Amino acid sequence: MQISFFEEFPNQNNLTKLKLISFQTKLYLAAKSVKEFQILKSQIKNKRVKEVIYWPILENKEGYWISPWSKRKALKRIFAELQEPKNQNLPVMLDLELPFRRNPWLFITQKANFFSNKKLIRDFINNHSGEVYLAEYYPEGKFKGGMMKFFGLHYTSKKNHKVKVIKMLYHSLHPFKKEFLTKELQRGKQEFGNNYLLAFGTIAKGINGNEPLLRPEQLQQDLQLAKEIGIKEVIIFRLGGMDKEYLKIIKALIR
C-alpha cells in the first residue's frame, strides 16, 4: 500500500519532515501557481519522494478551495495556466470543498456563475492530459453522494481514465463507525477500483487552525482497514505532523 502525504503549508519546517521518511512516497504540495509549485518541487531532495503533485489553492477572497462557488476569474486563471503546453501533463489535485470559512459571500456573488463554474471544473477534469486527483468530502452513501455531484463537489469522468478520487476520511473530525466505513470503502473500491484513494488524518492542523489531531491508535486502525480492503494509496494530512510515533505505525503497515 502506497503511503503519501499532503502538505498544505510547504515551508522549510514542514518539508524538513521528509528526513523521517525512509520508504517510497508521494507528496501533494499546495501552491497558488504552477511557478510557485515548481520552485517548491525543486527544493525536495529526498530520493524517496517518487512523485510530487500540484495542489492549486486560491486566495481566501477567491474561495481558497475549488468549487462552483469559487471566484470564476480565479478558476479560469488556474485552469488556463494548466492548459499551457509546458503544463498539460502536470499531475494535479483539485481540493473540492466549500468556501464556508474562507469567504461565505461567494455563495451570493458566484450564484449566477454556479453552472458555468461547474462546467469549467468538469471540462478540466475530462480534458487534462496529466493525472487528475479529486479530493472529495467523505463518503455518505449513494443519495448524499448524488447531492454532492449536483453541487459540483463530486465528479466522475468516463472521458479521462487518469482521474483518481480521494475521499477525505478524517477520523479526528468525524466519529465514523467501523461498520459504516467498511461498507463505504468496499462500495468505493467496487466503483472506482484502483482509482479509489483515501485520505486519513489530521495529524497536523490545516488552514482552519482548529482541527483536532488523530490519535496514533486510530491511524493504525484506519490504515489496517484500508490495507484489508485493498486500497492502493492512502494520503495522510499532513507531512508537517509526522513524528516517530506516527512513523512507527506507518512502517509496520507497509512491510
Compute φ and ψ for 237, nearest 5 degrees.
-100, 115
Number of residues that make up the chain: 255
Q: How far apart are CA 136 and CA 153, in angstroms?
A: 7
Specify which residues 74 forms β-bridges with. none
d(CA 181, CA 140): 10
Task: Mean pLDDT check: name the lowest of 22-31, 102-111, 140-149.
Answer: 140-149
pLDDT of residue 232: 95
Question: Which residues, other chains included, contact 141 with Cβ-Cβ below 8 Å and sequence gap of 6+?
Answer: 184
Average pLDDT over residues 207-225: 94
Average pLDDT, integer, range 202-206: 96
Give the model's pLDDT for residue 114: 96
Read off the pLDDT of residues 165-177 as tens digits, 9 standing for 90 and up: 999 999 999 888 8
The amino acid at 151: F
Please tell me the distance from the alpha carbon of residue 232 to that of residue 239, in angstroms, as a whole number.
Answer: 19
R_g over Cα of the chain: 17
Is the predicted pLDDT of residue 133 greater than 70, yes or no?
A: yes
Dihedrals φ, ψ of 204, to 5°? -155, 155
pLDDT tens digits along 40-54: 999 998 889 999 999
Q: Is the pLDDT of residue 26 over 90?
A: yes
% pLDDT > 70, the chain: 98
pLDDT at 97 over 90: yes
The per-residue pLDDT for 147 is 86
- Please give the average per-residue pLDDT across 148-173, as a whole number: 88
Q: Which comes out higher in pLDDT, residue 239 or 139?
A: 239
CA nearest to 122, candidates 86, 96, 144, 84: 96
d(CA 110, CA 108): 6
Residue 70 has pLDDT above 70, yes or no: yes
Contact between residue 233 and residue 21 where contact means Cβ atoms under 8 Å apart: no
Name the pLDDT band for 243 (thresholds 50, 70, 90): very high
Query: In whole numbers, what is the pLDDT of the chain averaged over residues?
Result: 93
In which band, very low, low, confident or very high, does the pLDDT at 139 lie, cut at 50, 70 and 90? low
3-state DSSP helix/strand/coil % of the chain, to nearest 5: 45, 20, 40
Residue 228: pLDDT over 70: yes
Which pLDDT does position 116 carry in this prediction?
Answer: 97
The pLDDT of residue 48: 93
In contact, 89 and 130? CB cutoff 8 Å: yes
Q: Which three cell numbers stand for residue 78?
A: 488556474
DSSP label of 214 = P
Whether residue 160 is predicted with pLDDT greater than 80 in this model: the reply is no
Please give the pLDDT value at position 136.
Answer: 95
